[in-house]
Structure 1
Amino acid sequence: MSDHKAIEAQDASEPEMKQEKPSTDIEAQQTDSNDAHHIDGNYSQQKRSFSAFASLGLLDRFLAVWIFLAMAVAIGLLVMMYPILCKVQYESLHKLLNKKELWKQIGFSVFVNWIIAPFLMLALSWAFLPDKSHLRTGLILVGLGRCIAMVLIWNALAGGNNDYCAILVAVNSILQIVLFAPLAIFFLNVISDENDIAPISYSVVATSVAAFLGIPLGAAVITRFGLRFIAGPAWYDRIFIRFVSPWSLIGLLYTILVLFAAQGHQVVHQIVSVLRVAAPLVVYFAIVFFTTVGICRMLGFEYQFLVTQSFTAASNNFELAIAVAVATFGPNSDEALASTVGPLIEVPVLLGLVYALRWVANRWGWK
């Protein structure tokens, strides 16, 4: 009897064990399912993060890099201009303003910079880019921006008159604030009949001019008058100027390096557009520079004034052109691309013209 009851108890317990086993399998399946969902969730989250990054444009992905490079270019320009502006004899400028020769130089410079050069760039942009209205617009903006920064170093390297160059830069700065926006509207909306062009902002123009000229000019004026008063004119001219003079060349080389590093991607990926914009720029620099040199020789200008006039006419305010193009049309626009190509062509071409002009002057005895 006891054995029989034990067998019955064992038979009764077996269904319970069989019933417990499925529940254990279900829990295991749920655990596996939860783990799978957890893995899938992590993967989908990573995928969404990657997709979000991939969906960003090149400008947005590396915005911090572009901001750093833009700051780097600005710093290079300021360092490049500061030593040259420190050499300008501001205490004697009032004497120059009384000279008839100065007003003759100013009148000639205004005519070349604000009539000849912009219309030449307009003609070349239409001749080389008749089917590319956006690239043409960017090129026209480059032609309207008269140089107020790098012309100082071109003038110094070629042996021009720093005082006259500083005055011409100041005149062009004032005229740029007043004339750039209306001339841009006239050239783009009236002559070129680009009716979809947004109006050029006066605030963008004024801010760019104030930043790239006002900061180094103000620093140079304060430095010159302050140190000459504290340490004396002799110490300033012999020690301080000798100390800061190499900064100009260092700033130039630094600016060139940063510009080419920043624009390398666009040059590679839009090489056809870059080459189409580069062609009229090279022709523009050559025509403006050598025409100005020839006219200055015909008018009997001294070599130092010839240098100042030629490089002031051939140089362009690419900082302003880029700022206006980006603010008006966007950083990824063809207008911004065309304005960006400007310094990539201008810097090596004008640097070559510096050495070419010095060689010709030494060979032919220009004084």
Structure 2
Amino acid sequence: MQTKLRFLDRYLTLWIFLAMLFGILLGNIFPGITTLIDSLSWGTTNIPLAIGLLLMLYPPLTKVEYGLLPKAIKNKTVLSVSLILNWIVGPLLMFTLAVILLRDEPAYMTGLILIGLARCIAMVIVWNDLAKGNREYAALLITLNSIFQIFSYSFYVWLFLNVLPEKLGIGSFNIAVPMRDVTESVLLYLGLPFVLGFLSRYTCIKMKGKHWFQTRFLPFISPFTLYALLFTIVLMFSLKGEAFLALPKDVIKVSIPLLLYFVLMFLISFFTGKAFGIPYDKNAAVAFTATGNNFELAIAVAIGVFGIHSPQAFAGVIGPLIEVPVLILLVRTSLYLKKQFYDPKKSTHTLHR
């Protein structure tokens, strides 16, 4: 069944702007908030922030249908194209744009690279449904991304931030990132919600049934991703009240490569799928899965490694600010391309058997 973009998701860009503004006002009205936030820490972990980051990632990881994994192997063409786009083309494209456009801003460059390495596991279903894509295949690809991300993200960060800049002669930026810090952040902010999500799914379905889980439990927890994201943004920007005048310019700096990334990644993915003869419904799933990013993970790792005050974390926050309006336009682009390049009668919404 075709879905509609929820009210909260449709105006996500507005909510993020309002959260930024509220955070800045909060920081100016209560200048002692920085001391208060820093005092709510255990070791190097800020407790309110950690709770917010965990709540961001728990709902999407609870939605993952792990039982669909065996089906993904059956269509090797779609699987291969998706893996190449997600784990080779996407990271390299974001890396290239970040290096070209933000060479003079190594911290923002690093934040964008972190975004490019975090493949989407949340909003893809929404964009895919709006574009009349195959929901089951989108779920399959999200499942693969979730599993792959847990075991590969730390390595990818090491490769793209510690190795490639040096090999390409830009190591003078000194953006080396300790792999241990990244691994700890991934285990905490991705591994823990992954386990909790898997256990929640298994327990709820076993005790209450799949229908109750899908119609009652998931709708209840889904909004917490947005609430936690907005909470994190308010927290971050309450610490940036003194830098308010510089923020608009920085938002533009980070937005340009993000905008280019979304558009280029979608077009590359869509026409690659078409060249391999993938039917439209599956091609839409592949294209939107490859185009979206897991900003929740990128923000969590940036904060865990560089701190809540860091430009890297700021870049992560700008991600969903740009993603929502651009992806809505790309949904319309996808439907236009469907009319131009696909015969609707040949499009199928079933998996190959």
Alignment TM-score, normalising by the size of structure 1 = 0.67
CA distance in 2, matches of 1:296, 1:157: 19
Residue by residue over 1:150-208, the C-alpha shift from the partner in whole angstroms, topping out at 9 and shown as x without a partner, is 44554455543223432343234333254333333223443331335342322223333
- For the 8 Å contact 2:52–2:232, the answer to whether it is kept is no
- Report the CA distance shift for 1:214/1:104 in structure 2 as closer, same or farther (over 3 A): farther
Residue from 241, 262, 268 that aligns with 1:285: 262
CA distance in 1, matches of 2:297, 2:279: 31
- For the 8 Å contact 1:137–1:188, the answer to whether it is kept is no
- Report the CA distance shift for 1:187/1:291 in structure 2 as closer, same or farther (over 3 A): same
Q: Which residue of 2 aligns with 1:321?
A: 298
- For the 8 Å contact 1:80–1:251, the answer to whether it is kept is no
CA distance in 2, matches of 1:80, 1:320: 11
Displacement of 1:296 in angstroms is 1.3
Letter in 2 for 1:203: E
Q: Which residue of 2 aligns with 1:296?
A: 273
CA distance in 1, matches of 2:234, 2:325: 15
Residue from 93, 103, 119 that aligns with 1:120: 93
Residue from 68, 71, 75 that aligns with 2:55: 75
- Report the CA distance shift for 1:254/1:314 in structure 2 as closer, same or farther (over 3 A): same
CA distance in 2, matches of 1:260, 1:348: 18
1:60 lines up with 2:60 in the alignment = no
Residue by residue over 1:26-47, the C-alpha shift from the partner in whole angstroms, topping out at 9 and shown as x without a partner, is xxxxxxxxxxxxxxxxxxxxxx
Alignment TM-score, normalising by the size of structure 2 = 0.70
How many pairs does the alignment contain?
298
CA distance in 1, matches of 2:53, 2:129: 20
Percentage of pairs with the same residue? 27
CA RMSD of aligned residues (A): 3.5
- Report the CA distance shift for 1:254/1:327 in structure 2 as closer, same or farther (over 3 A): closer
- Report the CA distance shift for 1:251/1:320 in structure 2 as closer, same or farther (over 3 A): closer
Q: 1 or 2 for the larger relative contact order (CA 8 Å, sep ≥6)?
A: 2
Structure 2 unaligned segments of length 5 or more: list them.
1-29, 349-353
Residue from 180, 183, 199 that aligns with 1:218: 199
CA distance in 1, matches of 2:77, 2:316: 32
Higher helix content, 1 or 2: 1
CA distance in 2, matches of 1:81, 1:224: 15
Displacement of 1:220 in angstroms is 1.5
Q: Which residue of 2 aligns with 1:17?
A: none
Letter in 1 for 2:258: L
CA distance in 2, matches of 1:220, 1:180: 30
Letter in 2 for 1:197: A
Displacement of 1:305 in angstroms is 2.1
Letter in 2 for 1:170: I
Residue by residue over 1:211-250, the C-alpha shift from the partner in whole angstroms, topping out at 9 and shown as x without a partner, is 343322332133334444xxxxxxx34x542334544763
- For the 8 Å contact 1:148–1:172, the answer to whether it is kept is no
- For the 8 Å contact 1:106–1:168, the answer to whether it is kept is no
Letter in 2 for 1:109: S
Residue by residue over 1:95-118, the C-alpha shift from the partner in whole angstroms, topping out at 9 and shown as x without a partner, is x2662x1x3333222211222112
Displacement of 1:292 in angstroms is 0.6
Displacement of 1:259 in angstroms is 5.5
1:195 lines up with 2:174 in the alignment = yes
CA distance in 2, matches of 1:251, 1:356: 30
5 Å-filtered alignment, 1:124-135, equals: 124-135=97-108
Secondary structure (helix, strand or coil) at the match of 2:179 reads coil
Q: Which residue of 2 aligns with 1:144?
A: 117
5 Å-filtered alignment, 1:221-300, equals: 221-228=202-209, 236-237=210-211, 239-244=212-217, 246-247=219-220, 250-251=223-224, 253-254=226-227, 257-258=230-231, 261-262=234-235, 266=240, 268-269=244-245, 270-300=247-277
Letter in 2 for 1:222: T
CA distance in 1, matches of 2:229, 2:309: 22
Q: Which residue of 2 aligns with 1:330?
A: 307
